[in-house]
Amino acid sequence: MQIHGIIHLFPKEIKLLILAFICTLSIGFFGGISFVKDTTNSNPKGIEERYLGNENDEEASTMKFKKSKGEIKTMVHNHILSLSVIFFLLAAILSTTGINKKVKLFLMIEPFVSIVLTFGGIYLMWTGITWMKYIIMASGLFMTMSFGLSVLIILSQLRIKKEA
C-alpha cells in the first residue's frame, strides 16, 4: 500500500481533523516544554537539581528535595508511555506526507530514541550517574526539534490542494 504523499488527497474533513489534532497536541507539548524550562532553567545543573535536589546548596533560593523511588518510576513510566503514543500518532500522520523518505524516516524514529535516552537518562541520573544530565539535555532537545519540524511539515503538507 502506497501512503507516501497522500496527505494532500485527504478530504477536507480529515485535513481539518488533523489540523485540530496537531494544533491541540502542540499546545500540550510546548506547554510541557515550558514547564521543563521553568523547573530546570534549561541547563544541566537545573536538571540535576530537579531530580536529585539541592539540599546541600545553602544559597539556593528554592529548596528542592531528591525525588523518591516511587516518584521517579511513576514519572518515567508515565512519560515513556504517553510520549510513545504521541509520537506514534505524529509519525502515522507524517508517513502520509510527500517529503524526502530518509528525512521522514529519521523524524518518525528519532523521537523514540530520544524518549528512551531522556527518561532512561533521568532514571540513571537519579541512581547516581550524574553525567547523564548532558544526555538528557541533548536528547530532550532532539525530541523537541523533531516534534517541531514534524508539525511544521505536516501543516505545510495540509495546505497542498488535491490533484484534479
Q: Which residue range is the domain that position 124 belongs to?
A: 10-50+65-158
Identify whether 4 is part of a domain: no
Query: Residues 136, 47: contact at Cβ < 8 Å?
Result: yes
Does the residue 90 lie in any domain?
yes
d(CA 159, CA 15): 9
Within a domain: 58: no
Per-residue pLDDT of the chain (164 residues; tens, 9 = 90+): 789 999 999 999 999 999 999 999 999 999 999 999 999 999 999 999 999 988 877 777 788 899 999 999 999 999 999 999 999 999 999 999 999 999 999 999 999 999 999 999 999 999 999 999 999 999 999 999 999 999 999 999 998 776 64
User: Residue 94 falls within a domain, yes or no?
Assistant: yes
Q: How many domains does the chain have?
A: 1
Is 152 within a domain? yes
Q: Could you give the angle at which helices 12-40 and 69-94 cross, rounded to 10 degrees? A: 150
Q: Grid coordinates standing for 140?
A: 530532550
Q: Report how far Cα 73 is from the mean position of its chain's Cα atoms.
A: 18
Instruction: Provide the whole-model pTM.
Output: 0.92
